[in-house]
């Protein structure tokens, strides 16, 4: 039987992807400790940026100048994710989202997305340089396809926001767990097939897709789903990157069973079903040479690591949790 490690030694060479760290999930509480943590992260080889969450802005209580000052000089490929702010509003209203079948819910989401764009520009100005490579958007709201949300509505929203001035940043449709049943999953957004079709129809060079390992796994409550989604997005020629954070069938100190709790690798959290072998298999699928009907398919440009950590962990211990994941991506 061929293992992921065996395959890694026989595949043709590929360019190393950029590494992105979703450090916000493992940040210490105090600002002083956060600054130490960012300094440690800046020393990790191959890291080109952070995944930065947008809730109401990109800075939080510390302020935008402070946030900009934490971005190491070589972190010029940061990715802004709108998922925290999106889900806050979804859970508050039930109808908010770019894919909403409710006219007001979609209008509110378009306005929110413009505020994300404004936040990206403000971060660039505060940093005095171009620091945002991509922005992740989502097919909210939660609910049953054709009732709460639709691919048609999402496509209409994308055709509008792609014309916002993103300063050269890509728009990444980040797939989250799709609706399976009212009592299963967490986010319950559009299915990956519908999202891929929306991207295909839009056919815009700056609109691509990103994946999160744990969100794909919890969708079907099966670790194999993440690899399936990587292969689907890669075959469609639109996979830009994969963020590795875990999920699992047991309640842990971080989250309930099969929730989006950003669990560590299984060696650091036994309740996680994300193993180093799973990460390697997905990394290979995202990077290995592939051919489509029109020729070679570009590999993913980045692979990332994100997880929660014990609240008592030191900055160095927090870094170790992330590097355990990151090391597994280096196939």
| Tens-place pLDDT, residues 176-215 | 999 988 778 889 899 999 999 999 999 999 999 999 999 9
pLDDT of res. 6: 36
Give 198's contacts (C-beta < 8 A, 6+ positions apart): 139, 151, 154, 155, 158, 173, 190
Question: Which pLDDT value is given to residue 154?
Answer: 97
- Alpha-helix runs per DSSP H in 162-223: 192-202, 213-220
d(CA 307, CA 305): 7
Instruction: Please tell me the predicted confidence (pLDDT) of residue 11.
Output: 34
- pLDDT tens, residue by residue, 37-86: 999 999 999 999 999 999 999 988 899 999 999 999 999 999 999 999 99
Strand partners, 303: 19, 242
Q: How many CA atoms lie within 13 A of 23 on its CB side?
A: 34
Domain boundaries, the chain: 4-329
Q: Which residues of the chain have pLDDT under 70?
A: 1-14
- Number of DSSP helices (H) and strands (E) in the chain, helices first: 11, 10
**Secondary structure (3-state) at 208:** strand
Q: Hey, what CATH class is 4-329 in?
A: alpha beta
The 10 Å Cβ neighbour count of residue 141 is 28
**151: which 2 tokens?**
């691919």
Whether 148 contacts 182, CB under 8 Å: no
Exposure class string for 152-180: b at 16+ Cβ within 10 A, else e: ebbbebbeebeebebeebbbbbbbbbbbe
Q: Can you read off the two tokens belonging to residue 98?
A: 């770019």
- 314 exposure class (CB count in 10 Å sphere: 0-12, 13-18, 19+): middle
């Amino acid at each position: 039987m061929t293992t992921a490690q065996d395959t890694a030694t026989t595949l043709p060479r590929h360019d190393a992807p950029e590494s992105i760290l979703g450090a916000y999930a493992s940040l210490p509480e105090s600002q002083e400790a956060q600054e130490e943590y960012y300094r440690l992260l800046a020393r990790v080889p191959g890291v080109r940026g952070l995944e930065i969450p947008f809730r109401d802005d990109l800075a939080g209580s510390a302020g935008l100048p402070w946030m900009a000052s934490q971005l190491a000089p070589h972190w010029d490929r940061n990715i802004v994710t709108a998922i925290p702010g999106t889900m806050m509003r979804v859970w508050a209203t039930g109808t908010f989202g770019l894919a909403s079948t409710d006219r007001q819910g979609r209008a509110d989401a378009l306005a929110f997305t413009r505020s994300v764009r404004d936040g990206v520009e403000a971060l660039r100005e505060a940093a005095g340089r171009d620091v945002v490579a991509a922005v992740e958007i989502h097919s909210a709201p939660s609910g049953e396809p054709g009732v709460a949300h639709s691919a048609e509505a999402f496509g209409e929203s994308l055709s509008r926001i792609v014309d916002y001035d993103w300063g050269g940043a890509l728009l990444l449709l980040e797939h989250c767990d799709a609706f399976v049943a009212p009592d299963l999953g967490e986010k319950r957004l559009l299915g990956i097939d519908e999202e891929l079709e929306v991207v295909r129809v839009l056919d815009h060079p700056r609109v691509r897709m990103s994946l999160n390992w744990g969100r794909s796994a919890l969708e079907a409550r099966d670790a194999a789903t993440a690899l399936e989604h990587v292969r689907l997005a890669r075959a469609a020629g639109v996979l830009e990157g994969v963020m590795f954070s875990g999920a699992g069938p047991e309640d842990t100190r971080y989250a309930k069973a099969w929730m989006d709790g950003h669990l560590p690798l299984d060696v650091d959290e036994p309740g996680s079903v994300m193993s180093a072998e799973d990460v390697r298999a997905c990394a290979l699928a995202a990077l290995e040479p592939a051919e489509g009907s029109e020729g070679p398919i570009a590999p993913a440009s980045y692979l990332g690591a994100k997880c929660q950590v014990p609240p008592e962990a030191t900055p160095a211990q927090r870094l170790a949790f992330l590097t355990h994941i990151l090391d597994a991506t280096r196939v």
